[in-house]
Amino acid sequence: MAIDLQQIGKRFRFYTNLKELEMEDLKSITGSDEETLSNIIHGRNIVLDELVAIVKNFCDLNPQWLIYGEGSMFRPMDEDGHCQENHKGLLKKDKAAYLKQMQDMLIELDAAEVAKGHKPDIDALKAKLDQMKAAQ
């Protein structure tokens, strides 16, 4: 199975935007430098060892989804029903603007994932965004 660096970047950017993580947050959480993180986000010059080291810092991120676009974006929860993250996912932005941004990114991901045959995964993410909108 071929690895598409551009798609890895788009998926990582989608995940970090969903979690509202800025570059400074990513540097703090991962201990990586800005150039390495920027390369991953933009899908260029990715060294697999660096990517693996960075992904290990996000306990809820499914590496299979990140690298291959397969399965859910999030790992299943542990026996206790939670994931012990290094950071809290509190909304820092205007919720409506945030949901619009995530919806736009999802459309971009959708086009690429549908072409690869991962339509059910995208549909599940769309349903989650619709639930968030409805709760607003």
**47 vs 25 pLDDT, higher one:** 25
Structure tokens at 72: 């859910």
pLDDT at residue number 17: 92
pTM of the model: 0.64
Torsion region of 22: left, alpha or beta (phi above 0 gives left; psi -120 to 50 gives alpha): beta
Question: Would you give the DSSP letter of residue 69?
Answer: -
The pLDDT of residue 9 is above 50: yes
Q: First and final CA of the chain: distance in angstroms?
A: 40
Structure tokens at 35: 């150039």
pLDDT at residue number 35: 95
> How would residue 3 be classed by pLDDT, with cut points 50, 70 and 90?
confident
Domain chopping of the chain, boundaries: 5-135
